[in-house]
Amino acid sequence: MTKKIFLEDLGLMEYKQAWDYQEFLFKKNLDIKAVYYSNQQSTNEKDLVETKNYLLFVEHLPVFTLGKSGKESHVLLDRQQMREKNISYFQTNRGGDITFHGPGQVVGYPILDLEKFETDLGKYLRNLEEIIILTLAEFGINAGRSAGETGVWIDSDLPGSERKICAMGVRSSRWITMHGFALNVNTDLSYFNHIIPCGIANKQVTSIQNELKHPVNIELVKEILKQKFERVFDAKIISGIFC
Q: How far is CA 97 from CA 25, 44, 54, in A?
A: 24, 37, 24
Q: How far apart are CA 56 and CA 180, in angstroms?
A: 10
Q: Determine how many CB atoms are found less than 10 A away from the CB of residue 163.
A: 19
Could you give the strand order of the β-sheet that contains 98-101, starting from the edge strand earlier in sequence?
Answer: 88-91, 63-66, 98-101
DSSP category for residue 195:
B
Q: How far apart are CA 208 and CA 101, in angstroms?
A: 15
- Would you mind telling me the total number of residues written for the chain in this entry? 243
Residues assigned a catalytic role: 198
Ramachandran quadrant class, 117 (left: phi over 0; alpha: psi -120 to 50; beta: rest): alpha
Q: How far apart are CA 190 and CA 200, in angstroms?
A: 16
